[in-house]
Amino acid sequence: MKSMTADELREYREKEHEKSYLLIDVRQPNEYEESHISGSIILPLNEFEEQVEELPEKNLIFYCRSGIRSKAAAITADFFNESKKDIYTLEGGILGWQGITVSGLPCFKTFDLNKELHETLLDAINLEKGAFRFYEHILNHFDLDANFNKSPSNNGGDSMVEVIKNARDGELGHAKLIYSHLKKILPNDQVFSEFDTLYEKLKGDILEGGATFDEMVKLIENRTKDQNIDILEVAISMEYRAFDLYRVISERVDNGSLKDAFYSLSQAEKSHMDTLIKALERATS
């Protein structure tokens, strides 16, 4: 998976035959109708996983509004990339294409899966705590329900505050589930401490996706005027990274109960993504 700048995409399109690649907009339909890159097709992020295996055997270039949602789509496409086609994301999204700079995007780091399993589980708990802290910070520092559209198809839908609270509480539940499996794989004399004690000791300084807590807070505070869209895009990217991580761990472990647990966690992260994407649909409508 690679990234390219707006200038690099323009150069790529000049050199490559149109039949050799597919340019995909993963935003919502109303965003696509308002403005899109010529020649691109629309495949909204909330429909992406269902259709990713049907994409043609071509190089794929993903873009969104600011470059965050497209990274989430590219991760999924790369997972199903058996033909080893090139997969790209457009840095800065359509804002970058239009010459509007979006600064402060953190570099998402790769999660280290070469550690011992118990170390990986500890890291996963720390990631969940980082995500909990991030959502808690959002709740405490932003006026989330200002100008937020509730869904008329769902009795008004959840408020933005409720969406973020549910995401926050889900992270704590995931951390407890991971801890329960950590205890099972360690001898009794090696169990670190009870959950509350262990959780308190963890810094929660790294979030799902590998960016630091400070990077993500700075990113949100320095973004555009579209506050709720910015928050939801970052949250979706975090959940996508967690979904990808837990899916990979479920393939890596031999223990059947652990495999099932992490598969369930990956599906829980996917459920979070779906909720956040629905909220994004309302924020962009």
Instruction: Return the pLDDT at 152.
Output: 42
Selection from 15, 50, 58 nearest residue 24 by Cα: 58
Torsion-angle region of residue 39: left (phi > 0), alpha (psi -120 to 50) or beta? left
The CATH number of 117-283 is: 1.20.1260.10
Question: Which residue ranges does the chain devote to CATH 3.40.250.10?
Answer: 2-97
Q: Report the alpha-carbon angle 209-275-217, nearest 5.
A: 40
Instruction: Return the pLDDT at 89.
Output: 94
| E strand spans, 82-142 | 87-90
pLDDT < 50 positions in the chain: 105-108, 110, 151-156
Q: Provide the residue type at 15 as one letter.
A: K
Residue 42, H or E segment: strand 41-42
Chosen CATH of 2-97 out of 3.40.250.10, 3.40.50.720, 3.40.1350.10, 3.40.50.880: 3.40.250.10
Non-local CB neighbours of 85 within 8 Å, separated by 6+ positions? 57, 58, 59, 60
